[in-house]
Amino acid sequence: MKKVPKHLAIIPDGNRRWAKAHRFLPWQGHEVGVERIFECIEAAFREGVEHVTVWTGSYSNLESRTAKEVAVLFMLMQKSLSNPKLLK
């Protein structure tokens, strides 16, 4: 019998570095990161995890970003939170 945690926390890191390494804009890295988060959430639920928390940033973390990047991050959060997959 495998042990599965009841709660998983995801703290995304490296989306901008990934984007830079692939010659994308920072927010394109965040968009890809969101896709990977959903893949992780779906896999966690398939394995029996009951709760998943995703840390999306603190004030000080967002303060160091450009206005455009922050706007994209908030748009991605809004779009993600309205995703029907989350309502299952």
Annotation says 13 is catalytic: yes
Q: Of the listed 53, 61, 66, 83, which one is catalytic?
A: 61
Annotation says 33 is catalytic: no
Name the token pair of 18.
């990934």
Quote the CA–CA distance of 88 and 85 in Å, as a whole number. 6
Q: Of the listed 4, 5, 7, 13, which one is catalytic?
A: 13
Would you say 6 and 49 are in contact if contact means Cβ atoms under 8 Å apart? yes
Strand partners, 54: 10
Give me the active site residues, please: 13, 61
